[in-house]
């Protein structure tokens, strides 16, 4: 970060924890809600990495983001199997549930 002229972030962003993760954890009551919580988290991560590919300034960073986004999308597919959902529900990945660069939900 410093080499690129930026300022390193040394504190965690509490927004995703308090607005996304904590409410999902509090809603867990059985195996199905564990799977639903994991699905929601993985779906948010997938959309965030896909969205981030459009804001990175180098091809190398965009490729890195899409690699992570692809791995997250596979996790969503695995959870779809466990939840009985369609394996590939959309031909493209939406980004409405992505976190913006400041870690806030866009939608």
pTM, full prediction: 0.70
Q: What average pLDDT does range 45-68 have in this prediction?
A: 88
* Tokens at 52, concatenated: 């981030």
pLDDT, position 107 = 46
CB burial of 39-50 (b: ≥16 within 10 Å; e: otherwise) equals: bbbbbbbbbbbb
pLDDT, position 29 = 94
């Amino acid at each position: 970060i410093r080499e690129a002229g930026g300022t390193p972030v040394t504190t965690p962003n509490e927004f995703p924890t308090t607005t996304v993760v904590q409410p999902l954890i509090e809603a867990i009551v059985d195996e199905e809600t564990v799977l639903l919580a994991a699905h929601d988290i993985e779906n948010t991560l997938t959309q965030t990495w896909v969205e981030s590919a459009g804001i990175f300034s180098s091809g190398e960073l965009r490729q890195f983001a899409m690699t992570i986004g692809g791995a997250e999308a596979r996790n969503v597919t695995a959870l779809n199997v466990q939840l009985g959902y369609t394996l590939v529900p959309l031909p493209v990945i939406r980004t409405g549930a992505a976190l913006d660069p400041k870690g806030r939900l866009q939608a």
